[in-house]
């Protein structure tokens, strides 16, 4: 009961905070909000740590003593804590989704805030996909933006050349991204660590140049997309339902919420199932995994392909949302932003992703006042977070054996 109350309260707090931040215009207000949030975050971390310590002290055994908050906690075997029971977790998810929808409805006429929310949601979806690769299977992918781009370009080209329903195009965008990923399967499977990183970095650089040079896909001038429609729904028309009026972005936001929840549940299912355990084993110790009869190739392929599919779907949705795509959007630096979201959020933890995606997308936007110094400050911020909190803001909770 107490837990539910807490969840409801924190969902409310998160929603209220998101609303205030998105509406905030004056610099003082933004600064106050951000400072307040950091203080709350630090205090919450302290409290949590203390209560966790007390609990471990109470259970006394020390057998499951948490590794101290060193960098290794992310890499060590997630062995403890099944977190909360499933029902409570579902409740928490529902509450948060309700809070977000409420925020979206409150913001219904603020196009800009809704666009930002939609972009955060799309980044969350994409990073859920990358999370399967990095966080679970330990397959690095520095070409996230490229697969995002494959999805986007597929949707753009097909929206012009066919009359297929756009929902299908999103799906095909994902399939195309997964297909493009299969080009890299062999090198990704055969390499490890930095060698694998190079493969994807090289692909990211190659992909962008290819888009620019190749005129068939619009070349550097990019492509316009048709308006997204689903049956009678025209996504780009303003919403008017009797007295209720809203920005057209509201539809995108609601749809993105739906997709994000679907993919969140999918990814969570994967993690909780035998697949998740197998992926953990593959990531943590390839030799041991092989000794237990796991096929490394099969699991890595599965994770890489599933991840790229999710990223591709997100990319296709993003292309429809922006209405225009060009190679500039799919540069290596964009892939790095995705990786930054993953690492800041705490590798392998979908909830941390939501927080990190919001930070990485909204904060630079709110930093517009400092204009050309924005990027400098942002990079310094990421360095600071990673140096002082190597496991990310919300590291993946330990798996507890039943």
Partner 1 sequence: MSLIGQYLMNGAMLGMMYALVAVGFSLFFGVLDVIQFSHGDVVAAGAFAGLIAWKGLTALGVQAPALLLLGVLAAAGIATALLGVVFARYVVMPVRSAPALNVLLVTLMAGTVLRECIRLFYPSGSQPQRFPALLPSTGWDFGGFHLRFDNVILLTSGALLIAATHVLITRTRLGLAIRAVAQDEETARIMGIDLKRVVLITFALGSVLAAFAGVMDGLYYNEVFFEMGLLLGVIGFAAAILGGLGNLYGAIFGGFLFAALQTIGAVALPFASAYKDVFAFGVVILLIAIRPTGLIGERASERA
Partner 2 sequence: MKIFVAAVIALSSLAAQAKDTVRIAFIGPLTGGNSAIGLGGRNSADLAVRQRNANGKAKYQYELVVMDDECKPDAGVQVATKAGSDRTIVAGVTHYCSVVAMATVDTFHRFGLPTIVWGAVLPDITYANDYKEIHRVNGTMINQNESNAKFMSEHGFKNIAVIHDTTDYGKGHDKYFTQFIGKDGGKIAGDFGVTADQQDFTAELTQIKGLNPDAIYFGGLTPIGVRIRAQMDKLGIKAQFDGTSGIVNDDFIKALGPLAEGTVAFREGASAEKLPRGKEFLEAYNKQGYTNPPEAYGPFAYAAAGLLMDTIEKSGPDRKKIIAELAKVKDRDSIVGTITFDDHGQNTVPVITKYVVQDGKWVAWEDSDYARGKRKLIGK
- Nearest CA to 253 among 126, 156, 116? 116
Q: Binding mask 242-281 vs partner 1 (x if CB under 8 A, - otherwise)?
A: ----------------------------------------
309 vs 266: CA distance, rounded Å: 12
Cβ neighbours, 10 Å, residue 122: 26
Determine if 103 is a binding residue for partner 2 (CB under 8 A).
Answer: no
Q: Which of 38, 221, 273, 295 binds partner 2 (CB under 8 A)?
A: 221
Packing angle between helix 27-59 and helix 350-366, nearest 10 degrees?
160
Q: Are 320 and 166 in contact (CB under 8 A)?
A: yes
Cβ neighbours, 10 Å, residue 321: 22
Q: Binding mask 142-181 vs partner 1 (x if CB under 8 A, - otherwise)?
A: ----------------------------------------
Determine if 339 is a binding residue for partner 1 (CB under 8 A).
Answer: yes
Longest dimension (CA), the chain: 67
Q: Binding mask 352-371 vs partner 2 (x if CB under 8 A, - otherwise)?
A: -------------x--x--x
When CB distances are held under 5 to 8 angstroms depending on the partner's kind, the choice from partner 1, partner 2, none that residue 197 binds is: partner 1
Least Å distance, CB 391 to partner 1, is 8
128 vs 354: CA distance, rounded Å: 9
- Nearest CA to 160 among 200, 217, 201, 110? 217
When CB distances are held under 5 to 8 angstroms depending on the partner's kind, the choice from partner 2, partner 1, none that residue 382 binds is: partner 1
User: Scanning the structure block, which residue is given the tokens 């780009």?
Assistant: 236
When CB distances are held under 5 to 8 angstroms depending on the partner's kind, the choice from partner 1, partner 2, none that residue 55 binds is: none
Interacting positions 4-23 with partner 2 (CB under 8 A): none
Determine if 29 is a binding residue for partner 1 (CB under 8 A).
Answer: no
Q: Which of 26, 68, 87, 161 binds partner 2 (CB under 8 A)?
A: 26
204 vs 159: CA distance, rounded Å: 25
The span of 26-34, 35-43, 90-98, 157-165 binding partner 2 (CB under 8 A) equals 26-34
Select 59 or 209, whichever has its Cβ closest to partner 1: 209
Determine if 94 is a binding residue for partner 1 (CB under 8 A).
Answer: no
Phi, psi of 143 (to 5 degrees): -115, 30
Least Å distance, CB 47 to partner 1, is 25
318 vs 340: CA distance, rounded Å: 19
Q: Are 394 and 345 in contact (CB under 8 A)?
A: yes
- Please, is 335 exposed, middle or buried when counting C-beta atoms within 10 Å of its C-beta (0-12, 13-18, 19+)? buried
Determine if 186 is a binding residue for partner 1 (CB under 8 A).
Answer: yes
Q: Which of 199, 281, 311, 362 binds partner 1 (CB under 8 A)?
A: 199
Scanning 60-85, the segments in alpha helix (DSSP H) are: 72-75
Q: How many alpha carbons lie under 13 Å from residue 160 in its C-beta half-sphere?
A: 12
Q: Which of 131, 133, 200, 329 binds partner 2 (CB under 8 A)?
A: 329
Select 92 or 126, whichever has its Cβ closest to partner 2: 126
Q: How many residues bind partner 2 (CB under 8 A)?
A: 35
Q: Binding mask 373-392 vs partner 1 (x if CB under 8 A, - otherwise)?
A: x-xx--xx-xx--xx--xx-
107 vs 35: CA distance, rounded Å: 23
CA angle, 152 then 155 then 157, to 5° = 105
Q: Which of 188, 325, 347, 357 binds partner 2 (CB under 8 A)?
A: 325
- Please, is 288 exposed, middle or buried when counting C-beta atoms within 10 Å of its C-beta (0-12, 13-18, 19+)? exposed
- Please, is 92 exposed, middle or buried when counting C-beta atoms within 10 Å of its C-beta (0-12, 13-18, 19+)? buried
Q: Which of 84, 89, 212, 286 binds partner 2 (CB under 8 A)?
A: 212
Determine if 288 is a binding residue for partner 1 (CB under 8 A).
Answer: no
Binding site for partner 1 (CB under 8 A): 70-72, 74-75, 134, 140, 184, 186-187, 190-195, 197-199, 201-203, 205-206, 209-210, 212-213, 287, 332, 336, 339-340, 343, 347, 372-373, 375-376, 379-380, 382-383, 386-387, 390-391
Binding site for partner 2 (CB under 8 A): 26, 28-29, 32, 110-112, 115-116, 119, 209, 212-213, 219-222, 224, 236, 247, 249, 318, 322-326, 328-329, 365, 368, 371-372, 374-375
């Amino acid at each position: 009961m107490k837990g539910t109350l807490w969840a409801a309260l924190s969902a409310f707090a998160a929603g209220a905070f998101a609303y205030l931040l998105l509406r905030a215009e004056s610099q003082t207000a933004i600064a106050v909000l951000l400072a307040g949030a950091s203080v709350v975050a630090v205090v919450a971390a302290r409290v949590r740590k203390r209560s966790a310590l007390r609990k471990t002290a109470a259970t006394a055994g020390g057998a499951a003593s948490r590794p101290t908050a060193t960098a290794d906690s992310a890499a060590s075997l997630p062995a403890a804590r099944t977190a909360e029971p499933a029902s409570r977790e579902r409740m928490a998810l529902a509450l948060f989704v309700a809070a977000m929808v409420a925020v979206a409805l409150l913001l219904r006429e603020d196009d800009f805030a809704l666009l930002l929310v939609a972009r955060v949601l799309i980044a969350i979806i994409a990073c859920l996909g990358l999370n399967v690769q990095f966080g679970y299977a330990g397959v690095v992918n520095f070409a996230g933006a490229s697969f995002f781009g494959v999805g986007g370009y597929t949707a753009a080209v097909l929206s012009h050349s066919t009359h297929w329903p756009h929902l299908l195009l999103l799906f095909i965008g994902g399939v195309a991204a997964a297909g493009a990923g299969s080009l890299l399967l062999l090198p990704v499977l055969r390499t490890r660590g930095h060698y694998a990183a190079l493969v994807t970095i090289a692909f990211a650089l190659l992909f962008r140049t290819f888009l620019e040079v190749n005129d068939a896909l619009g070349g550097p001038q990019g492509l316009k997309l048709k308006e997204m429609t689903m049956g009678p729904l025209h996504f780009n028309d303003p919403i008017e339902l009797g007295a209720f009026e809203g920005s057209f972005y509201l539809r995108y936001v609601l749809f993105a919420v739906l997709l994000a929840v679907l993919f969140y549940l999918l990814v969570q299912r994967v993690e909780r199932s035998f697949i998740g355990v197998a992926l953990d084993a593959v990531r943590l110790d390839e030799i041991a995994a092989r000794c237990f009869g796991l096929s490394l190739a099969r699991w890595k392929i599965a994770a890489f392909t599933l991840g790229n599919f999710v990223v591709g779907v997100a990319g296709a949705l993003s292309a429809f949302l922006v209405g225009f795509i060009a190679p500039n959007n799919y540069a290596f630096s964009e892939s790095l932003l995705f990786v930054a979201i993953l690492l800041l959020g705490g590798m392998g933890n979908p909830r941390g992703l939501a927080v990190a995606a919001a930070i990485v997308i909204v904060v630079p936007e709110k930093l517009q006042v400092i204009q050309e110094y924005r990027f400098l400050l942002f990079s310094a911020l990421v360095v600071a977070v990673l140096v002082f909190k190597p496991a990310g803001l919300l590291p993946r909770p330990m798996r507890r054996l039943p």
